[in-house]
Amino acid sequence: MVKACDFNSDATVAVSGCNDKKLRLFDLNALEAEPQIIETTATLQQAKFTPDNARILSGSRDDNFLRAWDTQTLEEVAAVEMSGPITHISITTDKEHVLVAAGSTVTLLGITNLDKIKEHTVDSGGVESCALHPDNSVFVSGGADHIIRLHKMETGEVIEQSRAHHGPVHSCAFHPLGTSYATGAGDSAIRIWPYGAAPPQP
């Protein structure tokens, strides 16, 4: 079963992460070719290309490590221990950071060295998803407790919260202009929420 997929920056390569603990890299210019395979030690939950296409970041519900894989050698080049199993990875709009939901935490890391910049605990019984506003000022988290929370990035303080969904909130995303955010949950509903701050200037 495929649990994760992503395209590289020029859409020439796709990656999938599966229950068989394998990352597969597909050359989209040679669709008949066999994919390159990276063998991992855990069932894949998330897989994302870094903006420079040099690495793939992966995470699993089976362990607590954010792992980085070299796209040329297919070798593991970094592993950062998080505070729990990884449920969500997203690259931020500025392409300089990665946001990770792991256990009951949301962590912001630098994209180059995967150094932890901010880490906030969310009282949700487990964070299922998260997304950062384009100006990096706030983030939204989706919980196993069905609650959507909007937080200040600097402190982790909850600004707003809602229990409109009737299932774990598996996905969150901000509009590219930051004027709203969307959430998707186990109740098969997608909801769109306005965000009142002014959009970032180009």
pLDDT, tens only, 121-146: 999 889 999 999 999 999 999 999 99
Rounded to an integer, what is the distance from CA 56 to the centroid of its chain?
12
Contact partners, residue 79, CB within 8 Å, separation at least 6: 65, 66, 67, 68
Position 184 pLDDT exceeds 80: yes
Position 59 pLDDT exceeds 70: yes
Kindly report the CATH class assigned to 1-81.
mainly beta
Q: How does residue 199 score in pLDDT terms, banded at 50, 70 and 90?
A: very low
DSSP reduced 3-state for 78: strand
Tokens of 126: 């487990």
Look up the CATH superfamily of 83-202: YVTN repeat-like/Quinoprotein amine dehydrogenase (2.130.10.10)
Position 200 pLDDT exceeds 80: no
Contact partners, residue 5, CB within 8 Å, separation at least 6: 14, 15, 16, 17, 47
The domain locations on the chain are 1-81, 83-202
Residue 114 near residue 98 (C-beta atoms within 8 A): yes
Tokens 């100006």, residue located: 135
Give the mean pLDDT of the chain: 94
Q: How does residue 166 score in pLDDT terms, banded at 50, 70 and 90?
A: very high
- Provide the residue type at 29 as one letter: N
State mean pLDDT over 147-162: 95
Q: How does residue 196 score in pLDDT terms, banded at 50, 70 and 90?
A: confident
Nearest to 37 by CA among 75, 81, 83: 75
In the chain, % of residues over pLDDT 70: 97
60-106: per-residue pLDDT in tens?
A: 999 999 999 999 999 999 999 999 999 999 999 999 999 999 999 99
Q: For 117-148, b where at least 16 C-beta lie within 10 A, e where not — what string?
A: ebebebebebbbbbbbbbbbebbbbbbbbbbb
Amino acid 175: pLDDT: 95
